[in-house]
Chains A and B, each alone.
Chain A
Amino acid sequence: MDAYVHLVPWIVLIPLAGFLFNGLLGMASGTFREQKNLIGGVATLAVFIPFLLALWLFFAMSGDSDAATVSLFTWIEAGSFTTDIGYRLDQLSLLMTLVVTGVGALIHLYAIGYMAGDEGFWKFFAFMNLFIFAMLNLVLADNMLLLFLGWEGVGLCSYLLIGFWYTDMAKSDAAKKAFMYNRVGDFAFLIAMFMIFQIVGSLRFEDILSGTGLFTTDQVFIIGLLILIGATGKSAQIPLFVWLPDAMAGPTPVSALIHAATMVTSGIYVISRLSPFFMQSPELMLFVAVIGAFTAVVAATIALTKYDIKAVLAYSTVSQLGFMFLALGSGAYVAAMFHVVTHAFFKACLFLGSGSVIHAMHHVEHKLHEEGKHVHFDAQDMRYMGGLRKYLPHTYKTFLIATIAIAGIPPLAGFFSKDEILVMTFNAGMGTYGAVYIGLWAIALITAFMTAFYMFRLTLGTFHGEFRLPQKFSEAKGAEEHLHESPVTMTSVLWVLAALSIVGGFIGIPNFVVATFTGTADVNLLSNWLDRTTMDADLTLSKLVEWFLLFGSVLVAAAGIFVAYRLYEGDQLEASDARISERFGAMYQVWSDKYKIDEIYEGAIVRPTVRFSERVLDVFDKKGIDGFVNFIAAAVRFTGGVVRYFQTGMIQSYAYGIVLGVILVIYMLLFR
């Protein structure tokens, strides 16, 4: 592996080069900014070439290859503390690299069409490349500090891209919100890093993982908790998940890349990376699992009530990330990473499909305005859609495939990964704190049902039935003729992702499925691949139980789809929602209000802080600190004024100073 590891810096640096190329030339030249094909092409290649390199590494590597590191240069050295800009190539980091660059390249390609009309085209692609650069630093870093640099870097890019249309106040507020929530998590992460350094004396993963024995159980719990808080910030889990739905303010490719496929999975990546560390404390694992399960169910219930198609997808993302955390907490790191991969495929496909829909709806609105009809509607609102399958056939088909995949119908990708999570959670129910895990498994099963339900509600509401816009606005009659499919650069990407959503699951076929027929089997490629880098809990269930669980999860998904079909097929969207709302009453209200979490934070943290700042800190600041600072400044300036008198400009006094100095020096040396 050592020979190949020298490719790794190139993987990281090529996106940086793309960023610099587009960023610098874009800043410098107005004519360059118009060369959109060049900009988009360079940016896409800057991600695609690293993907090819990673692919090469993938074929050069096997499941039992040792991890290799490469150091570019010593970055910081302070006393005994040294940190390199160094990269670590192993099965886990390569898997993430493949996902980031592969899905990233596809989304870049898609964005060329999607962003074509935007003024900030060059800026968009520069930021996207910068994001890929930061993300690759995050996944490939061989020490926590560089990882943290990437961690902050993706946060920054996320901020820049959510607020990409910064002239819209709401959007730039959403960017700020995302940044703030991430800061809370980052702070915890930073403290965890300090504590680890305190104990291990190094931040290199090698040293940390081989030094897990140095930690006491309490230390593992506390540090793990801090890392977990950091991960909940980045991966949008309870209690820090509220930024992600708002982050949908960014352009849709950004939502697909950053807020579905890659950045939000970095919390899962970090915990997987540190799996031997986390496995030390069952309490910690339980905590991770509980957070995951509750996030999954809470986000799923909110997703049931939303009409904004990107919001549904955003809550669905939060919910799926919850599944991944549940897997982590159950000691199923392979399953978590498996779901990261499959989720990247189908969620990117869904987001890009929604982008295609929004694109079309915007076009309609634009055309109507051109005809002089002042129809204003939200291009992301399902209630104005319906029947789009006629007009956007490719988008519809790919969207449907991805929906089936996420719902968990075999043999599509989502089925295998989600089933593995459920099995492993149930499996954890046989160990310490078993009863709790069984409970979490039940929650996860309910969530799986809801996932199938709300995803089909979304698909049916958007693509089936009749086009509802003309029903809502009399002026918009005949608007459907403006609906048109997206260009081929966009749809081809959708098809690639849809194909991946179909076949992506075969990298992780559960062994027992084949073993039932052949006795023993070793068909789970992913599990073999990640064997050396993560430390999974042992699977103790019998094959019978596993089959039972498998059929259970298929049944649940099918039930969800069936109910959704009954309720929403044939333009029943709002009517059915009203019926559900009536049935569930106050509970539905709570879901639709997003559990009032934003309001709770506002009331419990933001407003008291503001009030405290105004009443106490402000006064203290003005009277106390400012007073003190002003006093010091005044004192210094006064002293300076006095000392300045010696600086008369008269050469005699200068010579006088010199003579005084001479006397002082001679005195000190001669009369010690």
Chain B
Amino acid sequence: MESANELLTILPLIIIGAAGLFVMMLDAFTGSARLAYLATILFSAAALAVAVSDLFGPMGESFHGLITYGGTSSFGMVLVMTGTLFSVILSRDYLEKTGMHIAEVYSMILFAAFGMLLLVSSNNLVTLFLGIETMSISLYVLAGLVKNHKKSVEAALKYFLLGAFATGFLLYGIALLYGASGSTFLVDIAATEDKGMIYWAGVGLLLVGFFFKISAVPFHMWTPDVYQGAPTTITAFMATASKAAAFVAFILVLSRALPDARADWSDVIWLFALLTMVVGNILALVQDNVKRMLAYSSIAHAGYIMIGLAAGTDAAYSAVLFYLFAYTLMNIGAFGIVAYYEWHKGYDFTEVSNYSGLGFKQPIMGVLMSVFLFSMVGIPPFAGFIGKYRVFAAAVDEGLISLVIVGVLASAASVYYYLRVLVHLFMKESENGIVLSRPGTLYTASLLILAALTIFFGINPGVLTDLLGSFWTVQY
């Protein structure tokens, strides 16, 4: 039976699970959102610390092979907890200013984080499914947090219905793979000998399930509606932590359950990466709403990341992990600043034109936004550049030249919509005489940390890439 040592391998999960329950009880008995916030920060920070230290620990399996720990999984946990911690810190100010600060938010975030942690440490399709569902259901609730705002409710309902629809495919895929291989363990599926129709249909449906979670085109359509409708800091959480978790799990499945079928799924991912990059970027170009633009930008980023998956080598996987880290940092940052501007005027204050002249009113925020957006464009010396560069380089090594060319062109096009925000922030006259208040110290500090990390890992990526490479037997 599970010894104490086995429990240690899932320590972040235990911490976050207990935290979720604790915060829920805190809400039930005190109803204090402040307390819930504090508890959430403490627990998340603890889980993050454990996950970071696990990065340097051993890798292996526990719980009869249901769970995988260390290495990629621990890095997935770091991604999830980074996303969680920063979204939580940013949430308080934003939710308080917009009158939505209720304790349930934090327990739902924690439950979602629990699902994500389970997802990134799953070594079995059932564990994986449990993780995805725990995560998704919590996210459905979070999306509908603004109960009396039509867009938010609509977002939640759409997300829920389509999520359920996609989950159906995923579950069916799992069932078919079980039918073909006789097991739900990733390693056993890799050992399937009879690769018949059932097997391939199972693989296909599994891919579909993941495509939905990472919002690849044409499974992406929920993304802009949900990202726009949900409260902004929750969007930050969804866009970063859940995306990162889904990608890490995707990597685990592709590399552990389907390594032999690489030639086949690689083509599929190739096509969908192409579609995702092209459609994501084109649609981002025509958006006037910053949140919606960022939603499409996150679709576009998913496309770039999928290039790495299509390459499917060890180097590509470790590059994708780095990209996810950069992606997490810059997206939380950007959404954090959108949230900051938003709380001065209200829910719909997210149009690009609203931002005219705001850059100089609180220069720190304007500059930070520039850092995050430049990093998203992929300009050195920011982490986004290194991420893109590594993914593209790994793909070139695998001969996916045409895909990389599309990727590079797409990122060139993306300059337009990212810079458009900056043009409005810094080069247009302010129209409405809006006065920006100073954000709280912790709020500014966490954004500064995100920006500092973005720059640090842009200048000195070696620290991280060496570590990630060691998970995947890659030597740089």
Contacts and interface: CB of A to CB of B under 8 A. Distances in A.
Q: Do chains A and B touch in the complex (CB under 8 A)?
A: yes
B341 interface: no
Contact residues of B: prevailing secondary structure:
helix
Given A75-B460, A639-B282, A651-B158, A669 B268 contact: yes
A77 B462 contact: yes
A585 interface: no
Contacts of A664: 271
B286 A644 contact: yes
Interface stretch (B221-229, B238-246, B436-444): B221-229
A60 interface: no
B51 to A, nearest CB: 24
A649 interface: yes
Nearest to A652: B161
B383 to A, nearest CB: 14
A77 B466 CA distance: 12
Contacts of A672: 264
A658 interface: yes
B37 interface: no
Given A77-B462, A647-B221, A661-B218, A669 B285 contact: no
B413 A636 contact: yes
A668 B271 contact: yes
Given A73-B462, A661-B211, A670-B197, A633 B416 contact: yes
Given A647-B224, A668-B268, A670-B204, A658 B166 contact: yes
Contacts of A665: 204-205, 207-208, 211, 268, 272
Contacts of B272: 661, 665
Contacts of B460: 73-75
B293 to A, nearest CB: 12
Nearest to A672: B264
A77 B476 contact: yes
B224 A666 contact: no
Contacts of A661: 208, 211, 218-219, 272
A655 interface: yes
Given A77-B476, A665-B204, A669-B265, A644 B271 contact: no
Contacts of A657: 218-219, 221
Contacts of A73: 460, 462-463
Contacts of B260: none
A661 B220 CA distance: 10
A641 interface: yes
B165 interface: yes
B204 A637 contact: no
Contact of B219 (A637, A640, A658): A658
A86 B144 CA distance: 53
A669 B222 contact: no
Contacts of B462: 73-74, 77
Interface in B147-185: 157-158, 161-162, 165-166, 169
A669 B389 CA distance: 30
A637 B162 contact: no
B106 to A, nearest CB: 29
B208 A637 contact: no
A654 interface: yes
Interface string A625-662: 00000000100110111011011010101110110111
Contacts of B389: 78
Contacts of B197: 670
Interface string B239-281: 0000000000000000000000000110110011000000100
Given A77-B462, A661-B211, A669 B224 contact: no
Contacts of A644: 283, 286
A74 B461 CA distance: 9
B221 A640 contact: no
A266 B224 CA distance: 55
A79 B283 CA distance: 34
A646 B219 CA distance: 12
Contacts of B204: 662, 665-666, 668-670
B203 A669 contact: yes
A669 B201 contact: yes
Interface of B: 157-158, 161-162, 165-166, 169, 197, 200-201, 203-205, 207-208, 211-212, 218-219, 221-222, 224-225, 264-265, 267-268, 271-272, 279, 282-283, 285-286, 389, 393, 413, 416, 459-460, 462-463, 476
Interface of A: 73-75, 77-79, 633, 636-637, 639-641, 643-644, 646-647, 649, 651, 653-655, 657-658, 660-662, 664-666, 668-670, 672
17 contacts: A77-B462, A640-B285, A640-B286, A643-B279, A646-B221, A651-B158, A654-B221, A655-B165, A658-B169, A661-B211, A661-B218, A662-B205, A665-B208, A665-B211, A666-B204, A666-B205, A669-B204
Given A665-B268, A669-B203, 8 more contacts: A643-B282, A654-B162, A655-B161, A658-B166, A661-B272, A662-B208, A665-B204, A670-B200
